[in-house]
Amino acid sequence: MLTRYYQKIRAQVQDSLAPGYDPFEFMTSRVFTLSMASVDATTLKVYKNKVQVINVTGTIYYTFDSSSKQVTFTSSCALVAGDLIECYYNGYEKYTDNELHDYILSAIVRLSAEDYYTFALREDGVIFPVPVESDENLICLIASILMDNNISRYRTQEIEIQFAGNESESQRIDKILRKWKKCYGTYDYIKFKWNIIPFDSSFGNLH
């Protein structure tokens, strides 16, 4: 799955998990759309007139759709015009998971176009062949550059890349690939089998 990739990319483009709060006044519509780009549904708490609304077995008072970010009150919850609806949750302000998925796919396509290696992003969210840690970081770095071309530096213990302010997206990616090949070489995926690699929090720092 791509969760580890999402974590790394969000860290580099400074899209950190943050608390969200959305107040609404009920008039006629029972549907309320939350404001942040991506919402952690497990943290969502809904209040009506300062009293928490809690679904119980057999009675659903509201539902939440992560794709649309909409809280929908069912007919089981009595609402009258003027009721105060408040939603508290944690989420991300900049990018949805779907957007990150698309940027990762774009990074994979770019690696193939640059004759680095041809990975495939399967429908189940697995990249095949499973990248070694250095190539996983490379995919995340290129995705980050595609998302934010104002990054000035990437650094780990093994590699450091400085970007000039006037470098284009293509120039930055070319520089990354040259540095990457020089530092890590090109891995032969045909000769070895690899399992999923645990998340490495030392992906690197972008500035």
Structure tokens at 173: 């990616």
Q: Which residues of 184-198 are buried (b: 16+ CB within 10 A; e: fewer)?
A: beeeebeeeeeeeee
* Model confidence pLDDT, tens digit, residues 83-122: 999 999 999 999 999 999 999 999 999 999 999 999 999 9
Please give the helix or strand (H or E) that residue 139 lies within, else none: helix 133-147
Residue of 81, 124, 121 lying closest to 104 (CA atoms): 121
- Largest Cα–Cα separation, the chain: 67
Torsion angle defined by CA atoms of residues 131, 207, 166 and 15, in that order, rounded to the nearest 10 degrees: 70
At 152 the three-state DSSP class reads coil
Q: What is the pLDDT of residue 189?
A: 79
Q: What is the pLDDT of residue 197?
A: 41
60: left (phi over 0), alpha (psi -120 to 50) or beta: beta
Q: What is the pLDDT of residue 203?
A: 55
- Intervals of the chain under pLDDT 50: 193-201
CA distance 173 to 149: 10
Residue of 132, 133, 150 lying closest to 13 (CA atoms): 150
Residue with tokens 């530092």: 183
Q: What is the pLDDT of residue 158?
A: 83
Please give the helix or strand (H or E) that residue 70 lies within, else none: strand 70-73
Q: What is the pLDDT of residue 186?
A: 79
State how far the alpha carbon of 104 is from the alpha carbons of 8, 32, 63, 86, 152, in Å: 11, 30, 30, 34, 20
Q: What is the pLDDT of residue 191?
A: 56
Q: What is the pLDDT of residue 204?
A: 61
Q: What is the pLDDT of residue 198?
A: 43
For the chain, the structural domain boundaries read: 19-92, 96-206
Q: What is the pLDDT of residue 36?
A: 97
Q: What is the pLDDT of residue 207?
A: 54
